[in-house]
């Protein structure tokens, strides 16, 4: 079954003025769609390689799989993490885990914001739960696939690729990061945390 582009769970202009409609249209309809298309192509070519026994391009298609597959997964997470009318602070089990592992919500938010601004080039700031230890952590992932931490389940992803903010914020990534933090739906993040805890 080929992968499909999930529809945005709200209108393109729903996150205004923090995230503008034109950015959302380009980001979802062109960029995210491109990752879905690339993931399907990589899976198809890997299937053909298994059928023919010709693995001469295995390195290329494996890299394409990691790049487009990670892009698809993290964009789907990112759209779901945002909402025009979501819960604006963590609650329940997630709030307790944030207190335990970061000291306070304010400290976690400060670290998340600093991490998002500091990502080198294109990438993501990600709040994740590390399965082997059960601890929360904040990662700065370059592109989608570099500096990932095996065993960690992403709960919240902040897109800091230039396509996520350049139309409205140009080079002011810090302004964009402050804005996107205003539209996080912590109910979504909390539900993902509870699912990870099991
Ligand atoms: Mn993006």
| pLDDT score for 1 | 75
CB 81 within 8 A of CB 188: yes
Ligand 1 centroid distance, CA of 27 (Å)? 6
What tokens does 24 get?
Answer: 């959302």
Ligand 1 centroid distance, CA of 56 (Å)? 31
Ligand 1 centroid distance, CA of 71 (Å)? 7
Q: In which residue are the tokens 């923090």 written?
A: 18
CB 186 within 8 A of CB 94: yes
Angle between helices 33-52 and 58-81 (to 10 degrees): 150
Domain residue spans of the chain:
21-81, 92-197
**CATH 3.55.40.20 holds for 92-197:** yes
* Strand segments (E) across the chain: 123-130, 135-142, 152-159
pLDDT in tens, the chain (198 residues): 799 999 999 999 999 999 999 999 999 999 999 999 999 999 999 999 999 999 999 999 999 999 999 999 999 999 999 999 999 999 999 999 999 999 999 999 999 999 999 999 899 999 999 999 999 999 999 998 888 888 899 999 999 999 999 999 999 999 999 999 999 999 999 999 999 999
| pLDDT score for 128 | 97
| pLDDT score for 141 | 94
**CATH 1.10.4010.10 holds for 21-81:** no
Ligand 1 centroid distance, CA of 39 (Å)? 15
Q: How far apart are CA 68 and CA 129, in angstroms?
A: 23
């Amino acid at each position: 079954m080929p992968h499909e582009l999930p529809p945005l769970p709200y209108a393109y202009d729903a996150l205004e003025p923090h995230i503008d409609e034109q950015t959302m249209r380009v980001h979802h309809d062109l960029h995210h769609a491109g990752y879905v298309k690339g993931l399907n192509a990589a899976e198809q070519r890997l299937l053909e390689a298994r059928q023919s026994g010709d693995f001469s391009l295995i390195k290329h298609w494996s890299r394409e799989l990691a790049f487009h597959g990670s892009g698809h997964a993290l964009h789907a997470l990112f759209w779901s993490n945002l909402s025009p009318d979501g819960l604006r602070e963590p609650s329940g089990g997630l709030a307790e885990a944030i207190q335990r592992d970061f000291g306070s919500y304010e400290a976690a938010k400060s670290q998340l914001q600093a991490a998002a601004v500091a990502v080198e080039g294109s990438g993501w700031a990600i709040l994740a739960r590390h399965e082997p230890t059960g601890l929360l952590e904040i990662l700065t992932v370059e592109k989608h696939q570099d500096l990932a931490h095996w065993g960690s389940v992403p709960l919240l992803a902040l897109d800091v690729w230039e396509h996520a903010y350049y139309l409205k914020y140009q080079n002011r990534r810090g302004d964009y990061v402050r804005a996107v933090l205003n539209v996080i739906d912590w109910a979504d993040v909390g539900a993902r945390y509870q699912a990870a805890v099991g």
